[in-house]
Amino acid sequence: MKISVKRYNNDISKAYRIMMRKLNAEGFYTDTKRKSFYVSKSEQAREDKKAGTARYRKAEAKRRALIDKLEQKQAFNKKVTKPAKSKN
């Protein structure tokens, strides 16, 4: 992982904030925390499976929300036509 940060007008604090933001986006802190202790293979497999199911559920919820939104839009766009009154 290679991260480069430019200094603008020798503003170190701004460069530091940018660097921290980039490290966080790359997942540096979560990776470091995860590697700080030994994790057995079976435990790693359980965590991977749990993360996979969480990703699937999140994606499924997103798909469901999109489908519901489209159905509501279609129902709104359908115009209800009343039968014309006949003259007797």
Quickly list H helices, 1-88: 12-26, 28-35, 41-77
What is the average pLDDT across 38-54? 95
Tell me: do 44 and 72 sit in the same domain. yes
Distance CA 11, CA 40 (A): 44
- For residue 76, what pLDDT is reported? 80
At 65, list the tokens. 């929300």
Dihedral (C-alpha) 51, 56, 61, 63: value to the nearest 10 degrees?
Answer: 150
Same domain, 45 and 60: yes
Q: What is the pLDDT of residue 7?
A: 79
Q: Which pair of tokens denotes residue 16?
A: 């530091």
pLDDT bracket for residue 84 (50, 70, 90): low
Q: How far apart are CA 20 and CA 35, in angstroms?
A: 19
Among 33-37, 65-69, 77-81, the range scoring the smallest mean pLDDT is 77-81
User: Do 29 and 17 belong together in one domain?
Assistant: yes
Question: Please, what is the average pLDDT of the chain?
Answer: 87
What's the predicted TM-score (pTM) here?
0.53
* Residues 20, 45 within the same domain: no
Amino acid at 19: M
Full residue range of the structural domain in which residue 54 is found = 38-76
Say if 19 falls within a structural domain.
yes
24 and 9 in a common domain: yes
User: Is residue 44 included in any domain, yes or no?
Assistant: yes
